[in-house]
Chain A
């Protein structure tokens, strides 16, 4: 993580806890996401009245009711579009979107790709439990091929999306991946997202105890999870494993797992993570890798620097104000061809 620092404020977690009962199932991964964000908001350096939390529909999307901020619980799939209006209307606000895999990549797929492309300074937390929870267990666009669910009794016959690939393919400037049972990492990633100028997407691998329990067990085993998790840090070699003896190297056009000390492999051979690299090649590969042949990549995978939509818009507005011949609407109404009668 680079350049992430807490800002001292008088705010505490309690300033952001709402008086509404949290109605997620016991053991749902969403609790840890809520708690992490409540911990992060006091420390970003934004006034409490300047936060707006926006959501669509689904389990994830009850989120705004549980945060004591300004908030909009929207309609299915449209959180990104609603948030876009909030941000353009008042760019000074800190705008956060809570969404799920179905909300953002099925019904809201169009808004999802376009908000990323525009690079508005909005933070999106995508709760990816690879299932439709609120409608009780149908497959989602991230459900693995062949999965048996309420709406696929013979197994799904659709390839799933990998959110990271979609983010990068949509010109996304920031992509990070967290897991619900590692709140410390999640908190760090929320800070990183907050500090990034542009649309920042955090995919949280979230468990659904009722309809898709242990969905992320492969990347989060009870023991030796260090062997299947590569936690990326900017400027550091991509080393993982309980004994920190494995790393990623580039062989030809592919990433390969190498063991330090074997076949002459030293730390110098291991790829060094550059989250700021504009070329998305390595970032895309990192977003794709997964067990059994690779670890899953967690942390900030991409944080490229591009201008934001609202900064460019404000620039156009200030240019227009400087050069316009219209000082008020009356000037416009009386401009051009007019006739005295």
Chain B
């Protein structure tokens, strides 16, 4: 019984759920995470979907996964390797064993390991019977059988019984981690309100799993992950894509400009479009365009008309939007372009994450075509940077590219819910009706932005367009000196944004042996690795960049105080190329990975050690 089993306290733990696409792995993972959050743990989750929708049953291609990393300490990543793997079929085991720690616990549904399924997964012998898993604590639970037994007597069809297998595994995990069943039971009651028999069945299966784990010898000890010390407040779990969408809604409310989104579905950015279609009560207009180009062009039209205009996409879509971004630069209209980066080039590995669109975002347009580039770095701070992107776009009258990536877009973490009224003010430079001094390209002396004059406003009729504009008046103008002046003004306008963004922060000492430089969605892994080094007494600090163009004004100063600088990115070296261009006086080392996977903390610390040892 539970009391007889040893309880071991853990700092943090990583659990991975894997099964067929229809096995309910995402739901199990989410419910497990919610229960952990209620118990006060900090956490980070990451789903691992296959690119195919429903690949054939029991195949590797059809395996869907979900990883959650939770702890009593602050959690910044979804965890390197899993301490516990739940595998619902042989294919799930085969494809996920490499993400499981040696010595870790593996819970399998032993009933799913029939000959056919084993063969389909590509095993030549039954992994539950040969010695291949002897380095792990293997729990062979007959989940299918016990699920059926626990609903005996209920009038319920076979399909529904099969679907509730995930509750059995969840019950086992709740026992293993000393969790309450209450939150999950409440979820079941709410979700299946219309079908009392399904509620009863799922609750029974959940409880059966819990009890089963209590009785078996394979579980000799249970684990306790105490609550984390977190700032008091109200929290929720949020993915990067939802946080991005909500950041736009908040910016719309705060600025008083209606939200317009023009987008075309593309993995992994689609959720932002889908999310924003739900909020018509806030007058948010989400338009599913016929293609990527129409998405951004309609946003430019909406921006001219006075909306807070957004377009969202991923790498290939960013390529398609290039010409229109030039139009937004030339017309000096505010739009936000979100690029949820994925593995490229071309279609690449669409469901996997990467940071390889940076140079495209900075330079991928014809002509001298400067704009602001920002990068969010965690699922939750996508909210903050989406909001800031809107603020900078409108206040400086320029397009802004916001880079996120598949990892933080689909990943989720706990987020302390802010109050919209406490977010920074947004003051769009709207021109006043019948202002006799209004000129389309007359600029604010400090920021160099032009004014935003909206159709429908009396006395401000004017034309904008992609042909070069005459300074101040905005008429078409092909004079040589005017073109040079306008190119310089557009560049200087973006440069001056540096006066309105915070200084680059250093995590750790301001000088030392090694400065780790990173940007965007790698924050969690790089921070965790740097903190580990610092704990070991190493003189390592981190400068993680969110403001890419322009760079914070103190960037050079930050780089100047370390013996070595290493730039870590999920590409072949793009930010390092940019830093070498902007600050050629420093020597940079690099660490790159381009496998569609996030960094592992362990590989980063290994690299940092080598650099410190002078290798």
B-binding residues in A (CB < 8 A): 18, 20, 47-52, 54, 57, 64-65, 68-75, 78, 81-90, 92-93, 110-111, 114, 313, 316-317, 319-321, 324, 326, 328-330, 332-334, 336-341
Contact = CB atoms under 8 A, between A and B. Distances in A.
Contacts of A54: 301
A326 B236 contact: no
Contact of A329 (B249, B285, B297, B458): B249
Interface residues of B, number: 71
B250 A329 contact: yes
Contacts of B421: 330
Interface string B222-261: 0000010011111111000000001001100100001010
B304 A114 contact: no
A82 B260 CA distance: 13
B302 interface: yes
Given A82-B297, A333-B246, A341-B235, A88 B285 contact: yes
Interface stretch (B208-216, B305-313, B537-545, B577-585): B305-313
Interface in B469-510: 475-476
A81 B465 contact: no
B156 interface: no
Contacts of B227: 341
Nearest to B463: A71
A332 B298 contact: no
B335 to A, nearest CB: 10
A78 B455 contact: no
Interface in B375-389: none
B463 A93 contact: no
Given A88-B285, A329-B282, 14 more contacts: A49-B457, A49-B461, A75-B297, A78-B293, A78-B297, A85-B297, A89-B301, A317-B285, A319-B280, A321-B281, A326-B281, A328-B420, A330-B419, A339-B234
Contacts of A88: 260, 285, 287, 298, 302
B327 interface: yes
A200 B342 CA distance: 40
Nearest to B304: A72
A339 B230 CA distance: 12
B37 interface: yes
Nearest to A79: B297
- 3 tightest A-B CB contacts, nearest first: A73-B465, A85-B301, A85-B298
B236 A337 contact: yes
B145 to A, nearest CB: 33
A69 B304 CA distance: 13
A46 to B, nearest CB: 11
B466 A89 contact: no
Contacts of A48: 461
B420 A81 contact: no
B253 A329 contact: yes
Given A85-B305, A86-B302, A89-B305, A70 B237 contact: no
Most buried by B among A20, A75, A89, A340: A89
B461 A86 contact: no
Nearest to A316: B280
B334 interface: no
A56 to B, nearest CB: 10
Contact of B456 (A81, A82, A92): A92
26 contacts: A47-B458, A49-B457, A49-B461, A50-B456, A57-B466, A70-B461, A74-B466, A81-B290, A82-B300, A85-B304, A86-B304, A88-B287, A89-B258, A89-B307, A90-B306, A93-B305, A93-B456, A111-B290, A313-B285, A329-B253, A330-B421, A337-B34, A338-B234, A338-B235, A341-B230, A341-B234
A332 B301 contact: no
A306 B306 CA distance: 28
Given A54-B301, A81-B297, A329 B463 contact: no
A338 to B, nearest CB: 5
Contacts of B327: 74-75
A73 B461 contact: no
A78 B298 CA distance: 9
B414 interface: yes
A86 B475 CA distance: 21
Given A78-B297, A85-B297, A88-B285, A332 B246 contact: yes
Most buried by B among A51, A78, A319, A334: A78
Interface in B320-342: 323-324, 326-327, 331
A86 B294 contact: no
B486 to A, nearest CB: 16
B63 interface: no
Contacts of B232: 341
Contact of B420 (A47, A52, A64, A333): A333
Interface string B266-289: 000000000000011111010101
Contact of A338 (B236, B285, B326): B236
